[in-house]
Amino acid sequence: MWQSSEVRFASDHPTAAGHFPSNPIIPGALLLDEVVQAVAGLAADNGEIVIRAAKFFKPVRPGETVVVRWQRRTDGEVIFECRLVPDDYLAASGTIALGHVQQ
C-alpha cells in the first residue's frame, strides 16, 4: 500500500537560483533528501537508509509541489516516486534499502 507526503518548494528556494542560472531547478539531492525524510520512520532502530537507485525524469522547478510516494516491497526494500502536482508527472523514482546495510 502506497504512503505519501507532499512537499512544496518555495519559488525563491535558495538552492534553485544557482543550480542553472536563468533556468532554475530544484537539485536532485534536495529531492532525494525529502524522500529520505519521508521514509525515515520505516528504518528499524535508526538504521541506515541507503538509496540503491534513483532516476530523474522531469525537473522540479521552484514553486512546484511534489508528492513523495513510497511502498515497502516484500524483500524489505522501499520503492519511491516523486510526482509533480497537479499534472501527476513522474519527476523521479527509485529504490531504498533500510536497516543496517552491509556494503
Q: Over the stretch 53-94, which tens digit does the pLDDT of each residue have?
A: 999 999 999 999 999 999 999 888 999 999 999 999 999 999
Residue pointed to by grid coordinates 512546484: 64
Domain spans, the chain: 3-99
Question: Nearest to residue 59, comparing CAs of 97, 23, 99?
Answer: 23
Q: In this structure, which CATH number among 3.30.365.10, 1.10.3720.10, 3.40.30.10, 3.10.129.10 belongs to the domain 3-99?
A: 3.10.129.10
Residue 4 grid cell: 505519501
Query: What does the CA dihedral 17, 21, 24, 27 come to, rounded to 10 degrees?
Result: -70
Q: Is this structure's pTM higher than 0.85? A: yes
